[in-house]
Chains A and B, each alone.
Chain A
Amino acid sequence: MAIRLQGVSKIFMRSGRSRRPLYRELLNIRARLARDGGKHVLRDVNLEVPDGSRVGVIGRNGAGKSTLLRVIAGIYEPSAGAVSVDGRVCCFLEPGAGAAPALPVRDNVFLYAALAGLGYRETLQSLPRILDFCSLSDQEYSWVEHLSFGMQQRLFMSIQLEVMRLKRAEVFLFDEFLMGVDKSFRLRVEDALTHYPSERQIVLHASHDHELMLRTCPNAIFIDDAGVRRFGPTADVLDLYRNG
């Protein structure tokens, strides 16, 4: 079993997310202590995702989809329970996180590929393929900040897919990764997501694009009220989500 979550909970202390001057925090400390029981974003989640799965993560805004992906990625430490992930994790949870928009496309490919787990030689060999995939072959030296949002999305997604194709990671976590891209690129990504993953690789992606889910993910997880309400065939999970 490549991903296993046992009784995982994640609590955020409400006050921890409001950074105010120290004197205001101190003046307010009694009120803070009174209300700060924390907020459960995930509550007692049990989940087993086998190797070779392509799983959609469905849920309303604020249901805990991104938090679930971050807990699996090891970015958030669970407040309770245990997470075990076999293999390397590659995540695309926010477009361009870690990229340097002030630098050219070429530099960003090397930077982003390094963060995704590729070495220099692999990136150099993959560079033409990455640029071709996102239709940026003629803009290798253009500044990324001069590209449209959609073109930036294309670039970063293409690098992640190259990592998948080269099998340099086993677990891929995506969060609304096709936001802002046109239909032709979307079809290309769907094709890659259907054909690239090997029997050892797992793809988990959170999205509100249910048509995409149906086409690319045989199974889905429905996150509701900080817990997993259903994990099963995507069509059934979507029915439950829409009706209830």
Chain B
Amino acid sequence: MNGRQFLYVLYQTTRATYLAQEKNSALGLVWHLLNPLLMTVVLFLVFRNVGLLRDIEHYQLYILVGLIHYNFFINSTTRSAANFLSSRSLILNTRVPLELLVLRQTCIEGVTLVVEVLLVLLLGVFLGVHLSATLLLYPLVFVGVLALSLGASLFLCGLVVFLTDLSYVWSLFCRVLFFLTPVFFAAEVVGDGLPRLALEINPLTGLLSLAREALLYGGHVFLAEVGLALLGPALVLAFGVIVFRATRARVADYI
């Protein structure tokens, strides 16, 4: 399958999966927007008067930007693994490239993220955020979270066929990750020690910081910051590709 045919099959399978998922929903994509909005309202009401968090400018949008990127990561990885496991018939009876089965869920979640980012921009304008040229950096953030999610999804799908319990481990990991990612707090409020180290090595930390600068604050961003934020996702993607390539030949035997 050449590159053009791969993209066409990816488009067709992504479209079909998305339409099938949304078929019995009256509100469709709106549900994806309601989830982070509702969570933002709850987190904002609970934490808005807490110590250092009080000083965060546009705190409600700060939370929303964190949530939509965090949700993108956990939804695309968790659903990729679930969809991969349920694609037994497709894997055993067609010659579809296995990478495509992982990529299609990342694409579906990617579309949702784009709509959510547009919602953030709209709310930002409404709440008095001044958009600046830093906004042009956002596509790099998008590429970064896409690479991070795809890498983690490839890793998960490459192993979940052999270790079904990995789905439960991942679900637990995602819960812990929520508190090790600056979604509703700033990285600076966490004191030194293990949690701080975990925050610093978490690739989402740098990406969220960049996303907030691009979408909300418009501050000056150094090239090194961008490079550092994209380094983590690039490493995770490379690791995911290596694991997936190592296991893909045995997937049909074990699924």
Contact = CB atoms under 8 A, between A and B. Distances in A.
Interface of A: 12-13, 16-17, 19, 21-22, 70, 73-77, 89-94, 97-98, 100, 102-103, 107-108, 110-111, 114-115, 117, 119-120
Contacts of A76: 252-253
Contacts of A111: 12-13, 15-16
A75 B23 contact: no
Q: What's the dominant secondary structure at chain B's contact region?
A: helix
B101 to A, nearest CB: 10
Contacts of A117: 1, 5
B12 A102 contact: no
Nearest to A12: B253
A94 B165 contact: no
B252 A70 contact: yes
Contacts of B250: 77
B90 interface: yes
B9 A103 contact: no
B92 interface: yes
Q: Give 4 closest A-B pairs by Cβ, nearest first.
A: A97-B93, A93-B93, A100-B16, A94-B93
Given A16-B253, A103-B20, A75 B91 contact: yes
Interface residues of B, number: 30
Given A93-B92, A111-B12, A102 B165 contact: no
B92 A70 contact: yes
A94 B95 contact: no
Nearest to B19: A103
Interface string B115-129: 000000000000000
A122 B17 CA distance: 22
Interface string B79-119: 00000000001111111100000000000000000000000
5 contacts: A19-B164, A22-B163, A73-B95, A75-B94, A120-B8
Given A73-B95, A94-B89, A94-B93, A102 B20 contact: yes
Contacts of B23: 102-103
